[in-house]
C-alpha cells in the first residue's frame, strides 16, 4: 500500500484532520519521526490538496501529542475519530506498508468455535447455545486473538502483542472483570495456533480429542482412556461415563492432587466424547461454574473435530462469528473501534478516572471498543463502579508532596485552630522535650479536625477478606 | 457556570496560540489584561503538563475564590485532582508542616497580613532546605502572581524546574512589590496577551477610567474583542437613600438577570467583610435566599462548586472570578486603606456584560470618576 507522508508539528494536526486547513504541499516517501511530533499518511493514489488523511503515525513524543490535542483541541481527541492512529513501531513491526494481501482467508473452524466457547464461558449463564447473542463475539478476547492470527499469520510478534495488550486491559480496574482470564485463554490459543496448521482430515476423529488431552496432561488422558463407557454406542452409558470422569476429577481437584488446568480440559473432552459432538454441552453446566474456561476447551476440541461434529445451534453461531472474523481490512480505512491502542495506552497511564474513558465518543455507552492492533478490535465493558482505585505509585508520590483529600477540606479557620493547638501543646511540652517532633505534622494530616478516624491496617485486611470464590 | 471555560484552539488569538505551543519545560510568565484568558491558559497548561506524564503538578492561586473557581473547572473535567489546586498560603503551611513542623509553633496567626507572609516565607526557606533537590514537583503553576512577593516565587523555584506564572500588574490587590517586573531577571520568558474577550466595551471604559494606562494602546477598550452585537454591555452607578433601598433595586435587577442569562453566574461584590452577614439577612427574606453562595471562611456553601448562581464575595477575594453580571454593592464602604485603584480596577473587570454600582452617600473620587459619563460637547448652536 503506497502512502505519501507529511511530517507535522502537533499544532497543525487538528486543523488538517477537521479539514479546516490543508495538507502541506509536498509529502515524503518514508515516514520519519525524528524531527517532528507526528506524521500523517495519505494514500498516494488519491493525494490531492484536500485528501483525507488515512493514518497518523506517532513516535516518542506521543504523550506530548495526545496531551496537547486533548487539552487544546478537545474535540479532535481521540484522533481515531478521523483516521487510524498507530505507533511507528507497530507500523514497522507489522509491516503494514508492505502488505498487499488485504483480505482475510476463511478462518479455520477452530477459531470461530473458540470464540463461541468464550462467549458461553464469559456469560456465566445457561448453556443454551441457540440463545447466545452473536453481538457479544466482539467482546471476547478470543475474537481479537483470532483476528490477530488471521490478519498477521506469519507474525508471531503481532500475536504476542495482542495477548500482551489484552492482559494490560484486563488489569485496568475501569473495565469489568471477566470470569476467564487472558492467562487461561493463552493456553487454549497456543493449542489452537499449533493445531490450526494440521490438515483437517488428520484431526477429524475422536482420537484427536484424546491426543489433545494427552498433550496437555497425561494423567487426565489416562483417566479418559480407561473410561470405556465414554466410547460406548449407548448415549446413556456415555453420560454415565462422563459423570464418572467428572466425579473423579472434581474429587482430585478437591484434594489438590490435580493441576488446576487439567480438570477443564478433561471435562471438556469427556463432554465432547459423551455427546459425540457439541450436542451435550449442558453436561458441563455445574463444572463450568467452577472452571468457566472448560467451555473454551470444549470449543477448541469441537473446532478441532470440525463442522461434521457440530449441532445446528453451534453451526449457526460459528458461521456468524466466522463472517465477523473474515472482515476485510485495509490499513488506510477508517477505524471501526472507538479508540486506537496508542491513545488508550496513554489515557490509561495518565488518568485513573473512569469518567475520562467514559467521555470518549463511542458507539455503545456501556463499553469501549479498542483497536489492539490495526484491524484487531475488542470491546470492553466498563465496570459498574465509578470508584477507581488510584494507582499506588502515583498516589504515593503525590501524597508525599500534596495534602490528601481529607486535609484539602480543612478550612483556614480550622487550620488556624490547629496551629493554636499546636502552639499550646508545644508550650506544655517545652520543659520536657524539644519542639521538633512528628506529632506536629500529624496535627495537619492524621489528626486534622476534619479527618475521620481511619481504620487500622488489620481492620482493612479483615474487611477486605472474602470467602474463596466458588466455595 | 456556563461560559466560563473554553478549550478550543480555534477560539484562540495569535498571542494565546504562541503560549500553548510551549513545551512543558522552562520558566514562563504569562501577562495580560483581565479577560484575556490567563487563568484558562494556566489551567490548560497544567492539564497539558499532567498529560505528558509529569503528574506531580501543583497549581497555586492567591485567593481562595480563585482556587474554588478553578477547582470547579477541573472537577467537571476530572483532568486534575482538586487537591492539586490550592492557595499559596494553604499550600505553604502544609509544606512547612511536612518538612519543618517544628517551626509552626512560632507562627503568629494574629500577626498582620504582611507579618504572616514574612513568617511563612522564612519558614518555607527552612522547609525547602529539608526537601533536598528541585524536583519535589514536576511543575508548579501560579495564577495571580502579581500578588506574590518575589521571595515567595524564589521559594517555589527551589521545588521545581518547571514554573509557569500568570498575572497582571494592574490587578494587584496587595502591595507586594514589583514581582512581575523582577521575574524576567530570574529567567522567566514572557508571553504577553494583548486582547481580552470577556469584558464588554462599556465595562472596559469604566475600568480604563478607574486605572488609566500610560499608553492609550494599553487601554482595555482599545484591545477589546468582546462581541457587543451578541450581548450588549452596560455599566452604571446608582445612588439610593439607604442600603436597604440599594438592596431592593439590586434584587430586582438580579432577579431579571437570572432569567436573562440562564445558567450564568451573578457576582455581588462588597468592599467589607461584615457586609456578608448584612446581605445574608437581606436575602433571607426573599425567594432567592437559597440561590446565594456567601464566600466567607465559615460557611461551607461558599464554593463555586455549590452550583449556586449568585455569589457574594468581598472585593479583596474576588480576583480571578468572572460573572456575566456584577453588582458593586455598598460602595460608600470603600474607604481608606482600600483605596488602591488596582482594587477598584480588579472588581470592575470581574463583570462580562453588566456592571452596576450602588451607593448611599459619599464615595471615593476614583469610583465616581470611573463611572462618570463623558458628556459630548453641546452643539455650537446651544452655546451661541
- Residue numbers of the domain that contains A359: 3-103+330-390
- pLDDT at position A126 is 76
Residue A246 CA to residue A389 CA, distance in Å, equals 40
Sequence-separated (6 or more) residues with CB below 8 Å from residue A442: none
- pLDDT at position B298 is 63
Contact assignment for A73 to B78 by CB distance below 8 Å: no
Which of A72, A401, A415 lies at the smallest CB-CB distance from B137?
A401
- Looking at the structure, do residues A122 and A256 belong to the same domain, yes or no? yes
Residue A174 CA to residue A176 CA, distance in Å, equals 7
- pLDDT at position A364 is 81
8 Å CB contact between B206 and B371:
yes
Classify burial at A430, counting beta carbons within 10 Å of its beta carbon; exposed 0-12, middle 13-18, buried 19 or more: exposed
Contact assignment for B47 to A398 by CB distance below 8 Å: no
- pLDDT at position B214 is 86
Q: Please identify, among A283, A305, A325, the residue that sits at the C-terminal boundary of a domain.
A: A325
- Looking at the structure, do residues A163 and A248 belong to the same domain, yes or no? yes
Q: Does the pLDDT value for residue B379 go beyond 70?
A: no
Q: What percent of chain A has pLDDT over 90?
A: 42
pLDDT (mean) for A375-401: 57
B111 close to A (CB below 8 A): no
Q: Does the pLDDT value for residue B170 go beyond 80?
A: no
B21 close to A (CB below 8 A): yes
A440 close to B (CB below 8 A): yes
Q: What percent of chain A has pLDDT over 70?
A: 76
Q: Tens of pLDDT along A209-243?
A: 888 888 888 878 888 889 999 988 899 999 999 99
- Looking at the structure, do residues A135 and A77 belong to the same domain, yes or no? no
B237 phi/psi in degrees, rounded to 5: -120, 130
pLDDT band at A204 (very low <50, low <70, confident <90, very high): low
- Looking at the structure, do residues A37 and A165 belong to the same domain, yes or no? no
- Looking at the structure, do residues A128 and A26 belong to the same domain, yes or no? no
**β-pair type (A367-373, A376-381):** antiparallel
Q: Does the pLDDT value for residue A397 go beyond 70?
A: no
Mutate to test the interface with A, among B17, B24, B81 (most CBs of A within 10 A): B81
pLDDT (mean) for A173-186: 94
- Looking at the structure, do residues A186 and A156 belong to the same domain, yes or no? yes
Chain B 57-86, residues with CB within 8 Å of chain A CB atoms: 58, 64, 78-79, 81-84, 86
Neighbouring C-alpha atoms within 13 Å toward the C-beta of A214: 10
Centre a 10 Å sphere on the Cβ of residue A397 and count the other Cβ atoms it contains. Answer: 14
Residue B80 CA to residue B72 CA, distance in Å, equals 11
- pLDDT at position A283 is 92
Q: Does the pLDDT value for residue B1 go beyond 50?
A: no
Q: Tens of pLDDT along B25-70?
A: 999 999 999 888 898 899 999 999 999 999 999 999 988 888 888 8
Q: What is the mean pLDDT of chain B?
A: 89
pLDDT (mean) for B339-362: 93
Contact assignment for A402 to B84 by CB distance below 8 Å: yes
Query: Which chain A residue shows the shortest CA-CA distance from B18?
Result: A11
A310 close to B (CB below 8 A): no
Q: What interhelical angle do B88-99 and B150-157 show, nearest 10? A: 50
pLDDT band at A453 (very low <50, low <70, confident <90, very high): very low
pLDDT (mean) for B253-282: 95
- pLDDT at position A450 is 30
Contact assignment for B58 to A11 by CB distance below 8 Å: no
- Looking at the structure, do residues A292 and A355 belong to the same domain, yes or no? no
- pLDDT at position A100 is 62
- Looking at the structure, do residues A167 and A291 belong to the same domain, yes or no? yes
Q: Does the pLDDT value for residue A427 go beyond 70?
A: no
User: Is A452 a domain residue?
Assistant: no
- Looking at the structure, do residues A306 and A372 belong to the same domain, yes or no? no
- Return the residue matching grid coordinates 495488550: A165
Query: Which chain B residue shows the shortest CA-CA distance from A66?
Result: B51
Determine the 3-state secondary structure of A92 from DSSP: helix
8 Å CB contact between B304 and B4:
no
Q: How far is B101 from chain A (nearest CA, A)?
A: 6
pLDDT (mean) for A174-195: 93
Q: Please identify, among A307, A325, A343, the residue that sits at the C-terminal boundary of a domain.
A: A325
Longest CA span, chain B: 80
Q: Does the pLDDT value for residue A203 go beyond 60?
A: yes
Contact assignment for B102 to A397 by CB distance below 8 Å: no
Query: Which chain B residue shows the shortest CA-CA distance from A390?
Result: B81
- Looking at the structure, do residues A252 and A276 belong to the same domain, yes or no? yes
Residue B232 CA to residue A417 CA, distance in Å, equals 48
Q: Tens of pLDDT along B94-135?
A: 999 999 999 999 998 888 888 999 999 999 999 999 997 778
Model ipTM value: 0.78
- Looking at the structure, do residues A196 and A226 belong to the same domain, yes or no? yes
Centre a 10 Å sphere on the Cβ of residue A140 and count the other Cβ atoms it contains. Answer: 26
- Looking at the structure, do residues A195 and A343 belong to the same domain, yes or no? no
Amino acid at each position: 500500500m503506497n502512502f505519501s507522508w507529511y511530517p507535522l508539528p502537533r499544532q497543525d494536526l487538528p486543523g488538517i484532520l477537521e479539514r479546516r486547513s490543508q495538507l502541506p504541499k509536498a509529502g515524503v516517501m518514508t515516514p520519519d519521526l525524528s524531527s517532528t511530533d507526528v506524521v500523517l499518511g495519505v494514500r498516494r493514489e488519491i493525494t490531492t490538496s484536500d485528501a483525507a488523511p488515512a493514518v497518523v503515525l506517532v513516535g516518542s513524543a506521543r504523550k506530548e501529542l495526545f496531551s496537547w490535542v486533548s487539552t487544546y483541541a478537545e474535540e479532535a481527541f481521540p484522533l481515531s475519530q478521523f483516521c487510524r492512529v498507530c505507533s511507528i513501531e507497530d507500523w514497522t513491526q507489522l509491516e503494514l506498508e508492505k502488505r498487499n494481501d488485504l483480505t482475510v482467508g476463511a478462518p479455520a473452524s477452530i477459531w470461530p468455535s473458540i470464540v463461541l466457547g468464550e462467549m458461553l464461558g464469559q456469560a456465566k449463564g445457561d448453556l443454551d447455545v441457540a440463545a447466545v447473542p452473536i453481538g457479544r463475539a466482539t467482546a471476547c478476547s478470543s475474537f481479537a486473538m483470532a483476528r490477530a492470527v488471521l490478519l498477521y499469520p506469519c507474525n508471531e510478534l503481532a500475536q504476542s502483542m495482542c495477548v500482551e495488550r489484552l492482559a494490560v486491559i484486563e488489569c485496568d480496574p475501569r473495565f469489568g472483570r471477566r470470569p476467564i482470564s487472558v492467562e487461561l485463554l493463552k493456553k487454549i490459543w497456543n493449542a489452537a495456533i499449533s493445531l490450526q496448521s494440521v490438515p483437517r482430515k488428520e484431526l477429524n476423529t475422536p482420537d484427536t480429542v484424546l491426543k489433545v488431552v494427552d498433550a496437555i496432561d497425561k494423567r487426565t488422558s489416562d483417566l479418559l482412556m480407561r473410561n470405556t463407557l465414554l466410547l460406548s454406542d449407548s448415549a446413556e452409558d456415555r453420560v454415565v461415563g462422563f459423570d464418572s470422569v467428572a466425579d473423579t476429577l472434581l474429587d482430585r481437584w478437591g484434594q489438590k492432587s490435580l493441576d488446576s488446568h487439567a480438570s477443564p480440559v478433561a471435562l471438556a473432552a469427556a463432554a465432547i466424547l459423551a455427546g459425540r459432538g457439541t450436542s451435550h454441552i449442558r453436561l458441563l453446566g455445574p463444572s463450568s461454574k467452577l472452571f468457566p474456561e472448560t467451555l473454551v476447551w470444549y470449543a477448541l476440541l469441537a473446532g478441532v473435530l470440525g463442522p461434521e461434529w457440530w449441532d445446528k445451534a453451534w453451526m449457526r453461531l460459528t458461521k456468524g462469528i466466522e463472517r465477523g472474523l473474515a472482515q476485510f481490512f485495509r490499513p488506510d480505512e477508517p477505524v471501526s473501534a472507538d479508540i486506537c491502542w496508542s491513545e488508550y495506552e496513554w489515557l490509561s497511564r495518565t488518568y485513573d478516572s473512569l469518567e475520562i474513558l467514559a467521555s470518549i465518543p463511542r458507539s455503545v455507552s456501556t463499553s469501549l471498543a479498542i483497536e489492539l492492533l490495526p484491524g484487531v478490535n475488542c470491546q470492553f465493558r466498563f465496570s459498574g463502579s465509578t470508584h477507581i482505585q488510584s494507582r499506588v505509585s502515583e498516589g504515593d508520590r503525590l501524597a508525599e508532596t500534596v495534602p490528601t483529600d481529607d486535609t484539602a477540606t480543612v478550612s483556614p479557620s480550622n487550620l488556624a485552630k490547629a496551629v493554636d493547638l499546636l502552639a499550646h501543646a508545644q508550650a506544655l511540652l517545652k520543659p520536657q522535650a524539644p519542639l521538633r517532633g512528628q506529632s506536629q505534622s500529624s496535627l495537619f494530616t492524621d489528626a486534622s479536625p476534619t479527618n475521620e478516624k481511619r481504620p487500622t491496617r488489620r481492620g482493612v485486611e479483615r474487611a477486605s477478606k472474602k470467602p474463596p470464590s466458588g466455595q | 457556570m456556563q461560559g466560563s471555560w473554553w478549550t478550543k484552539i480555534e477560539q484562540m488569538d495569535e498571542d494565546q496560540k504562541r503560549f500553548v505551543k510551549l513545551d512543558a519545560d522552562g520558566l514562563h510568565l504569562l501577562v495580560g489584561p483581565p479577560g484575556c484568558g490567563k487563568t484558562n491558559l494556566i489551567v490548560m497548561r497544567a492539564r497539558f503538563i499532567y498529560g505528558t506524564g509529569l503528574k506531580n503538578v501543583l497549581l497555586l492561586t492567591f485567593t481562595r475564590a480563585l482556587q474554588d473557581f478553578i477547582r470547579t473547572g477541573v472537577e467537571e473535567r476530572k483532568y486534575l485532582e482538586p487537591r492539586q489546586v490550592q492557595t499559596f498560603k494553604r499550600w505553604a503551611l502544609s509544606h512547612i508542616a511536612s518538612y519543618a513542623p517544628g517551626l509552626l509553633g512560632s507562627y503568629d496567626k494574629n500577626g498582620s497580613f504582611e507579618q504572616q507572609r514574612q513568617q511563612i516565607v522564612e519558614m518555607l526557606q527552612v522547609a525547602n532546605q529539608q526537601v533536598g533537590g528541585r524536583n519535589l514537583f514536576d511543575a508548579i503553576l501560579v495564577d495571580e502572581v502579581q500578588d506574590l512577593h518575589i521571595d515567595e516565587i524564589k521559594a517555589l523555584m527551589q521545588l521545581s524546574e518547571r514554573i509557569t506564572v500568570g498575572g497582571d500588574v494592574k490587578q494587584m490587590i496587595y502591595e507586594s512589590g514589583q514581582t512581575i517586573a523582577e521575574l524576567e531577571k530570574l529567567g522567566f520568558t514572557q508571553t504577553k496577551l494583548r486582547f481580552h474577550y470577556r469584558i464588554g466595551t462599556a465595562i472596559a471604559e469604566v475600568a480604563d477610567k478607574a486605572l488609566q494606562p500610560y499608553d492609550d494602546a494599553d487601554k482595555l477598550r482599545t484591545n477589546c474583542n468582546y462581541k457587543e452585537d451578541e450581548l450588549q454591555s452596560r455599566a452604571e452607578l446608582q445612588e439610593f437613600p439607604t442600603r436597604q433601598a440599594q438592596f431592593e433595586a439590586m434584587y430586582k435587577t438580579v432577579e431579571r438577570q437570572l432569567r436573562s442569562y440562564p445558567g450564568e453566574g451573578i457576582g455581588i461584590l462588597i468592599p467589607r467583610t461584615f457586609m456578608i452577614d448584612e446581605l445574608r439577612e437581606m436575602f433571607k427574606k426573599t425567594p432567592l435566599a437559597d440561590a446565594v453562595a456567601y464566600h466567607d471562611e465559615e460557611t461551607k456553601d461558599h464554593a463555586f462548586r455549590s452550583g449556586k448562581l449568585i455569589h457574594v464575595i468581598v472585593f479583596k477575594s474576588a480576583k480571578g472570578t468572572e460573572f456575566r453580571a456584577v453588582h458593586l454593592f455598598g460602595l460608600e464602604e470603600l474607604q481608606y486603606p482600600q483605596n488602591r485603584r488596582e482594587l477598584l480596577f480588579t472588581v470592575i473587570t470581574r463583570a462580562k456584560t453588566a456592571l452596576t454600582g450602588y451607593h448611599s452617600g459619599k464615595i471615593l473620587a476614583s469610583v465616581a470618576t470611573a463611572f462618570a459619563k463623558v458628556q459630548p460637547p453641546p452643539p455650537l448652536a446651544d452655546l451661541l
